[in-house]
Amino acid sequence: MLIGLVISEEPLEERSKGVQFNYEDSVSGNGNFVSHNEIATQVPHDDGHRDRFADVYLQKKGHGSGSIERESILISNESLINQTNPDMIYAFGLIATLDSNRMVYNPYNMSVGRGYYAVRPLNFNSLLGDKSLIKNYASETSMDQETRYARIINKNLLAQVEYDHYNDTDEMPSKGLARSLMNLEMGVTSGTARIGMLQGNISLDALDPDRSAWYKPNIIIDEDYTGTFNLTSKMNLTLPLSTVVDDDSWLPCCSGGWTDLMNPDKKGFGADANEIFNCICPKGLIKA
């Protein structure tokens, strides 16, 4: 039975109503089943040198043949402020899900229509599979669980991923708070199960913002099981983020070079400026 989503810690600032999405389902029956849920919200990255947004992301998948009893809640909340506005003060993104799921494998035959397949029933014979994945790009964190080729799966899952971004003025450092949580209770019969977590080394981002989180990560959890197991796992990471921009009283926009400019400041130079500083001549200049 669902008992309600856990409420996270207090956000950095009071949240105005934004884009809200709520989804609930309850499924009970026998046959062949496939489900795929995927959702993301976008929040400006705490590091202004990043081109991409600090997305929070959730994915859920499940499939099999046999019986299924499932109750699920999925919610998301995203600030309504224009995400590309460089003068924004506060933005947030939150995704959370709560699942209670029992699946039992059993091959299933079904007649279709009145022709060929009416007398030659279709045979559905898929072992059970289940996957949940969350990503928090601000803290370079991912958490996941996956079960494959199982005959019975009993699962209770709470997963939540959240990022708050706050910037008072251009003179003050921007700050953020990234939270990622996955609590899992699961029983697997005759299958394979995996539980994992990866958290990148954010201190290395100043050297290379595009570096993979697999390069000297802070946290790696990688567990694999094959057979029949009862598994309980609780993962929770809260990471405060802050970016201090050094100020130079003389030509502050250029003292650190083109690569040191914040993305909002680069926009005023036109679309071709980046290609010039990357030593890639724009097409218009080549023709000239």
The pLDDT tens digits for 72-83 are: 999 998 875 554
Do 104 and 152 contact (CB within 8 A), yes or no?
yes
The average pLDDT across 240-263 equals 57
E strands present in 79-173: 90-105, 108-110, 122-124, 128-136, 141-150, 152-166
Locus of tokens 């976008």:
42
- Looking at the chain, the whole-number percentage of residues with pLDDT higher than 90 is 46
pLDDT band at 110 (very low <50, low <70, confident <90, very high): confident
Locus of tokens 């993979």:
212
Do 168 and 185 contact (CB within 8 A), yes or no?
no
Q: What is the pTM of this model?
A: 0.75
pLDDT (0 to 100) of residue 138: 87
d(CA 15, CA 43): 14
- Looking at the chain, the whole-number percentage of residues with pLDDT higher than 70 is 64
d(CA 172, CA 239): 20
Q: What is the pLDDT of residues 20-61, one digit of tens each?
A: 899 999 999 999 999 999 999 877 655 554 545 668 999 999
Q: Which of 189, 193, 157 is nearest to 60 (CA)?
A: 157
Q: What is the pLDDT of residues 168-221, one digit of tens each?
A: 655 566 778 899 999 999 999 999 999 999 998 876 555 555 555 667 889 999
Q: How far is CA 215 from CA 12, 72, 198, in A?
A: 30, 35, 11
Q: Please check the confidence at residue 271 and state whether its pLDDT lies above 70.
A: no
d(CA 122, CA 101): 26
Domain extents in the chain: 19-245, 246-288
Residue type present at position 270: G
Task: Name the token pair of 131.
Answer: 């996957």
d(CA 122, CA 108): 8
Cα torsion at 121, 147, 76, 3 (round to 10°)?
100
Looking at residue 51, what DSSP letter applies?
S
Half-sphere exposure of residue 262, counting CA atoms within 13 Å on the CB side? 21
Q: Please check the confidence at residue 242 and state whether its pLDDT lies above 80.
A: no
Strand partners, 180: 161, 237
Locus of tokens 């709520």:
22
User: How far does CA 97 lie from the centroid of its chain?
Assistant: 12
* SS3 call for 129: strand
Do 99 and 3 contact (CB within 8 A), yes or no?
no
pLDDT (0 to 100) of residue 251: 44
Locus of tokens 């802050």:
242
Task: Name the token pair of 164.
Answer: 């708050």
Do 54 and 116 contact (CB within 8 A), yes or no?
no
Q: How far apart are the first and last CA of the chain?
A: 70
pLDDT band at 227 (very low <50, low <70, confident <90, very high): very high
Sign of CA dihedral 10, 16, 18, 24: positive
pLDDT (0 to 100) of residue 1: 39
Do 66 and 106 contact (CB within 8 A), yes or no?
yes
* SS3 call for 19: strand
